[in-house]
Structure 1
Amino acid sequence: EWQEAADSRAELLRHLKEQVPRIFCLKKELSPQDEEELVQSHLLHPLECFLFGEHPQEGLQKLQQGSSSSQLCGRVFKEGETVYSCDCAIDPTCVLCMDCFQDSVHKTHRYKMHASSGGGFCDCGDVEAWKIGPYCSKHDPGATTAMVTDDCVLEPELYERAERLFRVLLRYVTDFLVWEENFELPSELQPTKENAYYCVLYNDEHHSYDHVIYTLQRSVNCDHNEAHTYTALIDKEGRRAVKRGTLHSCEQAKDLIRSNSEHISLQPLRVEILHAAIMAHQTFALRLGSWFQKIIGYSGFRQAFCQVALEPSADSDTPCLISRLMLHDARMYKARKIVHELIFCSMLMETEFKRLFAIEFTKHYKQLQKDFINDDHERSISITALSVQIFTVPTL
């Protein structure tokens, strides 16, 4: 139906308007397993059917048969993961993951190992990162003439569908991840008049665990154990809904949280009121970030994704989608991690798009640094940490 629709964008958004709140807006939270099953069957499976124009499994099999493996590893490191550096590296920031190191010449050289702080990625296969031995045996193309990624060329119809779908979904993801309280929803996503809202509390580095627990106990009528659970989840996920109710009751809770936290620290806790539908769409936008990472593991899809992400906006005052995400980085709680991983496995894996992305990054560099200085989080989780992936590359 979406393929034949005159306006496939409107049809896709109407589907998301209908299905997303049904899964993420329930008064009682589903178990993670039940939620994932519903997301797969009602949201991701239909999107994949549209993308491939057939059953996703069959479409993926055809792609796997037609593509060789990439010469770049690009594995994104988790915090605490062991990484290896060698004297052969062009600079100390060039590192290998454990698997690539074990299959490389560097294991017989002078090397160092350390725990990653998270966010970087494996430089195996990047000829600009190593004086000798740029490839492990798994990524060696047999000749080290140029840095080339896998040569998976999509059928023109498939590439065109991928661009159409990515254009709608990446705009959807961007709009909801940079969302602020005063923003208006697109007409296709306008929720029903249901008066259901969430009072959402965000993580910061000014208030201690005990301060937040104390504030919640006094503000949203919960006991110590509930307040402790909320606080742990806020610290882990970056934010959490601490009350669901009418707009009026959520506004009361917001005022109480701000007044009860202000006298503890000079700064009140950051708290927002979001319509239940907005909260649902934001949750799915994050899930779509992980889905994108899976899909763009295939080079043809990766190129379509990069094309859409770097496409100039129709409004000359509005930056491209990837720049909008970068410029909102400091305010994006822990959703920023998903955005950084998307950049790693898309822009930084394709030589030409890496160059175009570097231009965008440099264009906004001054503003990104200002935002980082005003942010209360570590450099390692800031978009500014990407400068090491760009400004240390000779050709860039």
Structure 2
Amino acid sequence: EWLGAADCRAELLQHLKEQVPQIFCLKKELSPPEEEELMQRRLLHPLECFLFGEDPQEGRQKLQQGSASSQLCGRVFKEGETVYSCDCAIDPTCVLCMDCFQDSVHKNHRYKMHASSGGGFCDCGDVEAWKVGPCCSKHDPGAAAAMDEAVLEPELHERAEKLFRVLLRYVTDFLVWEESFELTAELQPRLKDNAYYCVLYNDEHHSYDHVIYTLQRSVNCDQAEAQTHTTLIDKEQGRRAVKRATLRTCQQAKDLIRSNSEHISLQPLRVEILHATVMAHQTFALRLGSWFQKIIGYSGFRQAFCQVALEPNADRDRPCLISRLMLHDARMYKARKIVHELIFGSMLMDSDFKRLFAIEFTRHYKQLQKDFISDDHERSISITALSVQIFTVP
């Protein structure tokens, strides 16, 4: 139906409007495996059927047969992961992951190994990063030539652009969304429930014990539940709904959390109230970010994604989608991690798109630095840390 629709975007958004609130942020919370299964079956599978124009499994197999591995490794380092640098590097920021190092000429040179602070990127295959031996045996130029030939069929490329244009705008809108109670007209439900969430955000001012104590006093949860909330906020999600109720009850919970946390620290915890449908769409937008990361592993899809992300906005006063995400980086709690990984897996894996992205990054550099100064998180998880990937090459 979507393929033949006069307005493909409206049809896709209608599907999301109907399905997303039926899967996420329900009154009776689903277990993670149940939620994942429903999301795959009712949301991601139909989107992939539209993308491939056939069974997604068969579509993937055809793409895998037609493409080789990329010349660039692009592995994003986790905090504490071992990385290797060599005297052959253009500068000390150029490093290799363990696998690439073992298969490279550099293991016989003067090298250093150290622990990554996280968020870095393996430079194997990047000819601008090394004086000699830019590629390990897995990422040699022969593989890159084969990769360049893996162009999508015109119909597949057209469908990818159509779908990515709708979904990337949806993801961007909800990751930067500042309306707590309302959705866009296209996604507004016919009947609006009186269901709201009191949402607590991660910060760098309060300790685990402070947050646990505050939650126990404010939302009537026991210590085990308060510990679960606090761990998930800090380690995984950057935020968590700590109460679902009417608007009035959530407002009372918000006031209590703020006043109880102010007694402990001069700065209260950041807590907001979101309507259940807003929370549901924001949750799915994050999941779509992870889906994009898998899809752009295929080079043809990566190119389509980059084109859409860097496309000039019809309204000249508004930046392109990837710039909108960058400019909201400091306000995006841990959603920023998904955005950074999308940039690593798309823009920085292709020299032409890397240059275009670098122009956008530089255009907004002054504002990004200003936002970073007022941000209470460390540089390693700020978009400004990407400057090392852009300003340290010839």
Shorter-chain TM range is over 0.9
Answer yes or no: is 1:104 the counterpart of 2:104: yes
Gap regions ≥5 residues in structure 2: none
Deviations 1:275-329 (A, max 9, x none): 1111111111111111111111111111110011011111122111101110111
Residue equivalent to 1:162: 160
Moved more, 73-82 or 38-47: 73-82
Answer yes or no: is 1:211 the counterpart of 2:218: no
1:96-245 aligned within 5 A? 96-142=96-142, 150-181=148-179, 184-191=182-189, 192-236=191-235, 237-245=237-245
Moved more, 325-334 or 257-266: 257-266
Answer yes or no: is 1:20 the counterpart of 2:20: yes
Moved more, 116-125 or 23-32: 23-32
- The alpha-carbon distance between structure 1 residues 247 and 342, as it changes in their structure 2 partners (threshold 3 A), is same
- Distance apart, 1:63 and its partner CA: 1.2
Moved more, 68-77 or 180-189: 180-189
Moved more, 346-355 or 67-76: 67-76
Q: Which amino acid aligns with 2:102?
A: Q
Q: Which amino acid aligns with 2:125?
A: G
- Distance apart, 1:68 and its partner CA: 2.3
In 2, distance between residues paired with 1:367 and 1:275?
31
Report if aligned partners of 2:66, 2:150 keep a CA contact under 8 Å in 1: yes
In 2, distance between residues paired with 1:34 and 1:118?
31
2:78 alignment partner, SS class: coil
| TM-score with structure 1 setting the length | 0.96
- Distance apart, 1:148 and its partner CA: 9.5
- Distance apart, 1:5 and its partner CA: 1.0
Deviations 1:8-39 (A, max 9, x none): 11111111111111111222332222221111
Q: Which amino acid aligns with 1:140?
A: D
In 2, distance between residues paired with 1:33 and 1:382?
31
Residue equivalent to 1:373: 373
Q: Which amino acid aligns with 1:217?
A: Q
Percent of aligned pairs with the same amino acid: 88
Deviations 1:214-235 (A, max 9, x none): 2212211222222222111211
In 2, distance between residues paired with 1:185 and 1:225?
34
In 2, distance between residues paired with 1:223 and 1:287?
29
Q: Which amino acid aligns with 1:199?
A: C
Q: Which amino acid aligns with 2:382?
A: S
1:1-396 aligned within 5 A? 1-142=1-142, 150-181=148-179, 184-191=182-189, 192-236=191-235, 237-394=237-394
Deviations 1:81-138 (A, max 9, x none): 2111111110111111111111110111111111212211111111110000001111
In 2, distance between residues paired with 1:243 and 1:181?
19
Q: Which amino acid aligns with 2:153?
A: E
Gap regions ≥5 residues in structure 1: none
- The alpha-carbon distance between structure 1 residues 147 and 202, as it changes in their structure 2 partners (threshold 3 A), is farther
Report if aligned partners of 1:149, 1:350 keep a CA contact under 8 Å in 2: no
- Distance apart, 1:179 and its partner CA: 1.4
- The alpha-carbon distance between structure 1 residues 73 and 85, as it changes in their structure 2 partners (threshold 3 A), is same
Deviations 1:165-221 (A, max 9, x none): 000000000011111135742222113311111000001011122221222122112
